[in-house]
């Protein structure tokens, strides 16, 4: 731990230097990272494909998103400001006003998962750089090379060496870092069980948790069913469902159920399952055999409980074929817990109101999608669905890297998205002046 302690001490010392680093310099470095990522697109895509078995087309899309994330952070570094407040609301405060400015809280600790080992890292690293906060990144054990290579790009772009550290380490070492009082912020993306446990170890740190969910798509009878079916197939099975906002449950209004099911199964069966390095692959293997065995067991549990497998359900080593089940008993894990695999449950509902009730009844609340042409349904869903984000006429899997993103209930606390993460990593400080 001696070497680790030295790195943490260097981060602490770097905090004051970074706070004084002009915004235009931070912006220049961030844009440099973006430019270098764009130039190394194929290198990083191949690395993602090898490390986490991401289909090569999806890997390229992840690199493109990271290019945007760093570029957007470069712009936000120039826009991020404060607030002027008049204070002459009563006689005693005449002639006074306040300036509110946000300062970095201190050194940040970032812990990231395997499924987006480049762009989910970017969602923490880029906002920290934009506000001038030093950080230590503990990447997923399945993808250390991607994080280490990104760390090299930061230094090549002019980020101070002492202001960041990429440290692949064991879970035990990571827990020691979480307990360390040298860090002012913990930002964790991963499973709910691990995230909430780490929050309990974090002490006085400001904690941001981006966790999982059982994302629902609601398909109303008035929806464009062909569009909804096509998008749900993408949202359910991209990267073999190893996405925290992957479509896991599709709630279809009864009059549209049979037609939607036909269209959705047609799209599902057209997906190509295969090796991640092959250009035509839509669905590749899961991250490892343990993950594949778990998903297979959950499917078998649901079928044993009375569910019907309409497609897939078959395991080929670490690959689970895209699987569609209906009549899944509510007590099954597929109904209650995050599957993190290529499996989706179809459910018939009598009305949009019933569907929204089902969206909100579980323990998670990350994002939901609703397909409808009725603005009243949209507004009702916005008010009633207990989720961090509602996506209209698209799947909950949609995410813009510029928007606020995060969940409620077991799905997390705090928000990401570049500007919102910048707020999480900083705290307001007020200056009161008198004429």
Give the catalytic positions in this structure.
Answer: 210, 244
- Whether residue 421 contacts residue 89, with contact meaning beta carbons closer than 8 Å, is answered with no
First-last CA distance in the chain: 53
Nearest to 137 by CA among 179, 165, 107, 170: 165
């Amino acid at each position: 731990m001696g070497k680790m302690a030295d790195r943490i001490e260097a981060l602490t010392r770097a905090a004051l230097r970074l706070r004084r680093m002009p915004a235009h310099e931070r912006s220049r470095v961030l844009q440099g990272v973006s430019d270098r990522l764009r130039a190394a697109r194929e290198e990083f895509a191949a690395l993602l494909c090898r490390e986490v078995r991401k289909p090569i087309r999806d890997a390229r899309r992840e690199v493109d998103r990271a290019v945007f994330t760093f570029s957007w952070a470069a712009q936000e570094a120039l826009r991020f400001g404060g607030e002027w407040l008049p204070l002459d609301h009563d006689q005693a405060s005449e002639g006074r006003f306040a300036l509110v400015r946000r300062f970095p809280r201190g050194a940040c600790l970032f812990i990231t998962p395997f499924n987006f080992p480049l762009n989910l890292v970017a969602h923490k690293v880029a906002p920290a750089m934009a506000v001038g906060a030093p950080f230590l990144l503990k990447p997923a054990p399945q993808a250390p090379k991607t994080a280490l290579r990104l760390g090299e790009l930061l230094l090549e772009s002019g980020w101070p060496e002492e202001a960041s550290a990429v440290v692949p380490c064991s879970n035990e070492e990571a827990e020691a870092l979480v307990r360390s009082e040298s860090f002012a912020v913990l930002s964790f993306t991963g499973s709910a069980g691990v995230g909430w446990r780490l929050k309990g170890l974090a002490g006085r740190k400001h904690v941001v948790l981006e966790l999982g969910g059982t994302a629902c798509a609601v398909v109303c009878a008035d929806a464009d069913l062909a569009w909804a079916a096509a998008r749900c197939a993408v949202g359910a099975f991209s990267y073999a469902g190893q996405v925290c906002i992957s479509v896991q449950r599709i709630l279809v209004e009864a009059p549209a159920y049979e037609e939607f099911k036909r269209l959705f199964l047609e799209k599902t069966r057209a997906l190509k399952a295969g090796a991640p390095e092959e250009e035509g692959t839509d669905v590749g293997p899961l991250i490892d055999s343990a993950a594949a065995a778990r998903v297979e067991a959950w499917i078998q549990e649901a079928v044993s409980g009375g569910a019907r497998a309409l497609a897939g359900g078959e395991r080929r080593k670490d690959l689970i074929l895209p699987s569609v089940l209906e009549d899944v008993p509510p007590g099954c894990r597929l109904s209650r817990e995050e599957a993190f695999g290529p499996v989706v449950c179809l459910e018939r509902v009598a009305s949009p109101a019933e569907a929204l009730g089902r969206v909100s009844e579980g323990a998670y609340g990350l994002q939901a999608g609703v397909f409808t042409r009725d603005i009243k349904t949209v507004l009702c869903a916005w008010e009633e669905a207990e989720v961090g984000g509602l996506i209209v006429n698209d799947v909950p899997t949609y995410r813009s890297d510029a928007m606020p993103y995060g969940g409620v209930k077991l799905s997390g606390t705090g928000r990401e998205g570049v500007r919102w993460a910048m707020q999480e990593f900083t705290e307001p400080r007020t200056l009161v002046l008198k004429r």
